[in-house]
Amino acid sequence: MALRRIRPADAFLLREIFADAIESQASGLYTPQQIRAWISLAWLPGVLDCVFQHGDGWISGDGAAFAMRQPQDRLALLYCRGRASRQGHGAALVKRIECDARADGLVHIHAEASLLSLPLLERCGWRFLRLETFTVAGVPFEHHRMERQLHN
């Protein structure tokens, strides 16, 4: 699987992947109201800017999927377009993020997993810690706090 580092010029592409992943795959797992609120994060000024500017990550294929760490010990974003789901992009990105974290001397990495990413992270050996609630634009959500112990 071809991966390349994310560059500042990729911000619009990352927003497109983010929105496509939710729009194409969240139905049945999330309510229409949750989906609308979540997708809106892709286009609201300032919401993803910090991760895009200060995060470190990888993009897969021809813009099929991406993953970013921010800060170093947190998998902050992991999104795959619907047309590319279940083709190994997510697993390849998670493995690359874990390798980067190990290279940075980290002993563990954590994430807040959606219902979309939870099964993938579990298959990759991540451990569920707890369920957390939060809101997006006043709409309630839950995510799964996950952790991965990194062994050298």
The predicted model gives 89-101 an average pLDDT of 97
Q: Which of 26, 6, 3 is nearest to 14 (CA)?
A: 6
Q: In the chain, what are the domains?
A: 3-149 (3.40.630.30)
pLDDT at 118 over 80: yes
Burial level of 8, CB count in 10 A (0-12/13-18/19+)?
exposed
Other C-beta atoms lying within 10 Å of the C-beta of residue 95: 15
> pLDDT value at position 48?
93
> pLDDT value at position 61?
78
> pLDDT value at position 55?
93
- Predicted confidence (pLDDT) per residue in 15-53, tens digit: 999 999 999 999 999 999 999 999 999 999 888 998 999
Mean pLDDT for the chain overall? 95
Q: Are 137 and 43 in contact (CB under 8 A)?
A: no
The predicted model gives 65-91 an average pLDDT of 96
At residue 7 the predicted structure's pLDDT band, cuts being 50, 70 and 90, is: very high
The predicted model gives 47-65 an average pLDDT of 92
**Residue 114, CB-side half-sphere exposure with 13 Å CA sphere:** 20
